[in-house]
Amino acid sequence: MDRSQAVLRRFLSHVVILAIVAWIIALCPVIAARADDVGMNKSELIRGLLPTVVNISVRKDEPAPPPATADADAPAPPVTPGADIKSYVGSGFVIDPSGLIVTNYHVVEYAFEITVTFSDGSRLPAKMLSASRTADLAVLKVQPPHPLKAAHWGNSDKLQVGDQVFAAGDPFGIGLSVSAGIVSGLNRDIQNSPYDDLIQTDASINHGNSGGPLFDMQGNVVGVDSTIISPTTGSAGLGFAIPSTSAQFVVSQLLKYGWVHPAWIGVKIQTVTREIADAMGMPAPQGAIVAWVIEDGPAKKAGLTIGDVILRWDNFAPTDERALLRYIAHTPVGQNVRLSVLRDGAERTLYVTTDAWPRNQWDKNDAPTPVERPKIVIPPDLGLGLSILPEDAKAKFPPALDMKGVLVTSVAANSDPALKGMVGGDIILRVQDKPVSTPDEVRAGIDTARTGKRDYVLMLVLPKKSDTPGPKWFALQLATAGG
């Protein structure tokens, strides 16, 4: 009887093992399918977010920096409007279907022309509604023919080191790109502003990514890509983004008031370091020490004095002066706030009513730089020096080309032909659809295009130097909105 029970037990154990194996075999395709679904869902998420990300191209007439040895009393050198126009690219993201777009202020600073390109290739002119130099944020407006897809703000306060994120933008102007990484650090201070609280990420952020969104894995904007630290012009894995909580506050204030309209109490503070704590007899560094109190300011009225250490702002214990400044700035104007203050070794409570930062002071330090479109005068010859093509130059022509053309002897600096790559030694073969063989024929073709109210004239040019053989078409500007 015992032997039969043992045989039965072995039989049942084999049946159980076979059942488990069969279950695992059946489950494997399901596990693989779920793994594929995760990857597919991530790619679907990213594809769904790309229409919210935009390329921002700008034209700037940047002021030239003064010479290092400039004499303060010497007259300023003459400035030619439009003489130093440069083009740059950046990124941004849509925050409202009506056409509101967020980017970094440094992307559009000094820009007299802003063009937004969407993921479908459509382009719209944009204007800057308002901006904050200190926060390095700007709000742009376009007039779309239909409602745009907008990104959603996330909560950057919930981010932790190691969380996965991805950045989207237009690095180096090569086109809309996505890079993935993790949150490498939080509350970084790279001394861009007194309020620095940056997210560090190893997701690749390069020139041109500025102003683009940093997304979490739920597709929410948790940061605005803003800067890199690198020994080269490319990413070295040290990219930084403005947290969404700070960016959303600034953007909402800009839209509501036209400026950040921060709260203010009229003090200068600095972080209590280990050395300061030791000098004050504090067991450990904490809070921010008051270095100055402005007369008739809210802090003075509340009884705050030089040397006080602010330990708590309402229920918040600031870790450093930057955190305290952010708490103050984000507090609604006119709110009564309880302060916990350390004075003469004893903790006491004060109450301060926040006021608005003086508008004239804020405008002086934070308002966007006024920009006027330069009056760019395009000369009749577009800045091209021309001459009859000498016989020895015809040897440059490929055998299949008719040996006619006009030699470009010079190209004016910063002219549209120069910016588009034309140089002395190029040979113009056609203007619009007509072959040319004399400078007068080139000028006549330019004049005909102008008479036809065209903004551009088309020229077929055999370049002096080219990576690829044969001629190349150039569309050269005839007129600008600025003059």
Q: Which two tokens stand for residue 327?
A: 């708490």
Q: Which residue type, as a one-letter code, is found at position 383?
A: G
**Catalytic annotation, pick one of 193, 210, 244, 246:** 210
440: annotated active-site residue: no
Q: No. of H helices and E strands in the chain?
A: 9, 26
Cα distance between residue 240 and residue 197, in whole Å: 10
Are 417 and 474 in contact by the 8 Å Cβ rule? The answer is yes
Q: Which two tokens stand for residue 27?
A: 């489950």
Beta pairing partners, 201 = 183, 239
296: annotated active-site residue: no
**Catalytic annotation, pick one of 57, 91, 106, 132:** 106
Q: Which residue type, as a one-letter code, is found at position 467?
A: D
Cα distance between residue 128 and residue 112, in whole Å: 10
106: annotated active-site residue: yes
Are 29 and 70 in contact by the 8 Å Cβ rule? The answer is no
Cα distance between residue 277 and residue 257, in whole Å: 40
**Catalytic annotation, pick one of 61, 130, 136, 226:** 136
Element (H, E) at 352: strand 346-353
- The contacts of residue 130 (CB under 8 Å, 6+ apart) are 138, 139, 254, 255, 258, 259, 368
In a 3-state reduction of DSSP, which class is residue 213? strand
Q: Regarding beta strands 263-264 and 267-271, do their DSSP bridges make them parallel or antiparallel, or are they unpaired?
A: unpaired
DSSP 52-120: GEEEEEEEEEPPPPPPTT--TTSPPPP--TTTTEEEEEEEEEEEETTTEEEE-HHHHTTEEEEEEE-TT
Cα distance between residue 100 and residue 137, in whole Å: 13
- The torsion angle over the Cα atoms of residues 124, 125, 127 and 133, rounded to 10 degrees, is 80
Distance linking the first and last C-alpha atoms of the chain: 109
Give, as one character, the DSSP assignment of residue 479: -
Q: 151, exposed or middle or buried, with CB in 10 Å at 0-12, 13-18, 19+?
A: buried
Q: Which residue type, as a one-letter code, is found at position 396?
A: K
In a 3-state reduction of DSSP, which class is residue 164? strand
Q: Nearest Cα to 244, choosing from 102, 399, 85?
A: 102
Q: Which residue type, as a one-letter code, is found at position 440?
A: D
Cα distance between residue 224 and residue 239, in whole Å: 11
> Catalytic site residues?
106, 136, 210
